[in-house]
Amino acid sequence: MKLLSRVKRAELYVWLVPAFLLLNLFGEVVQHSSDLLPRAVNEVWLACYVSVINYRLFEYSWPKMSWKRFFDSFLLALPYFLAYSLGIFIWRALGVTLHIVTVLDKTITTDKRIGDLIGYCIGSLLFFGVIRHVFNYLKLKQSAQQLLIASQQAELNYLRSQTNPHFLFNTLNNIYSLARDKSDLAPESILRLSKILRYMLYETSAPYTAIEQEIKIIDDYIELEKLRYDESLHVNFNHDLEDRKQSIPPLLLIPLVENAFKHGVSETRDRPSVTIHLSVKNRVLLFTVENSTGEPAENNNVKENIGLSNLRRQLALLYTNYSLDVRPGDFTFTATLKINLDSHV
């Protein structure tokens, strides 16, 4: 773990040190046209020193410093003050002694030399400090974004886990009513339910599914619901698609269809009906579900059930450009969903 932590700390400096060195070499080339090779060697020698000092400062000592612990922080910073002043001068002198550093201007005084070296250290301190701060900020922002995405995905999975049992519960209730009446249609309803279950098990784990698959599930659900009613129930499901292979999140549309039967048709005694229209043109999906109701609209307030509430939240997590309008009318209820499929998050 300690080794991994050290490797992560050093990631930034893999490119930061060469960038600092190249920046100083460029400055040397601009200011001097002669003695480029010895000047480059001098820069490499100094860059090695300040890179190590800055790395130790920012990655090990700086995180331990704070105003609340001023005295301890001062003692921790004191060696770096010496390293950036006297230390850099001694390091250069060592390079001269080892014949690594070439003295190109022998007229410069010791005080001027120390001043230039301290300025060099301060420049490196600012360079490393600013770049490190920006890098850490961007990395923190990226981590926060990844955490947000993971959180939203977890919430989306939770909403789907709520929707599926809710959907199955209503379907099983339908089969129960057929079985209780000893209807010959019970076996067929179980067969259709098995198709829906197969779709839920093997298709809904993926983030997308072809819209034609969603249509098949809606058809199976409609036929499953129709088994409960006599010839008085009228259902019209039509669709106009440019491309049946277009992708949408699985089980995104079924809550509106389920809502139409559970809270509309089941409460309608006289001529129950459901009209469903689905179209996708220019990557814009329009899904309208209109169903009969058992009573006139007394007000425009709609008390949304778990299906509609979950659908709204899923849409908010999945798309940035969408609308879901529900409008109660006299003996009718209309839900209209419009999604710009290109606005997927």
Work out the pLDDT band at 277, boundaries 50, 70, 90. Answer: very high
Do 100 and 152 fall within a single domain?
no
Residue 41 lies in a domain: yes
Phi-psi group of 208: left, alpha or beta (phi > 0 → left; psi -120 to 50 → alpha; rest → beta): beta
Do 313 and 243 fall within a single domain?
yes
d(CA 6, CA 59): 9
pLDDT recorded at residue 94:
92
Residue 113 lies in a domain: no
- Residue that wins the pLDDT comparison between 202 and 343: 343
Whether residue 254 is predicted with pLDDT greater than 90 in this model: the reply is no
Average pLDDT value for the chain = 81
Do 173 and 46 fall within a single domain?
no
Residue 236 lies in a domain: yes
Q: What is the per-residue burial (b if ≥16 Cβ within 10 Å, else e) of 65-76?
A: eeeeeeeebeeb
Do 169 and 304 fall within a single domain?
yes
Query: Full-prediction pTM beyond 0.75?
Result: no
Work out the pLDDT band at 163, boundaries 50, 70, 90. Answer: low
- Of 107, 132, 160, the domain-final residue: 107
Give tens-digit pLDDT for 284-300: 999 999 988 877 766 54
Residue 119 lies in a domain: no
Q: Is 333 within 8 Å of 342 (Cβ atoms)?
A: no
Do 196 and 96 fall within a single domain?
no
- Of 107, 130, 162, the domain-final residue: 107
Give tens-digit pLDDT for 180-227: 877 777 777 787 777 777 777 766 667 788 899 889 888 888 887 787
Q: Which amino acid is at 334?
A: T
Do 195 and 300 fall within a single domain?
yes
- CATH number for the domain including 235? 3.30.565.10
Q: Is 76 within 8 Å of 65 (Cβ atoms)?
A: yes
Helix residue spans in 181-210 (DSSP H): 186-202
Phi-psi group of 251: left, alpha or beta (phi > 0 → left; psi -120 to 50 → alpha; rest → beta): left
Residue 121 lies in a domain: no
Q: How many domains does the chain have?
A: 2
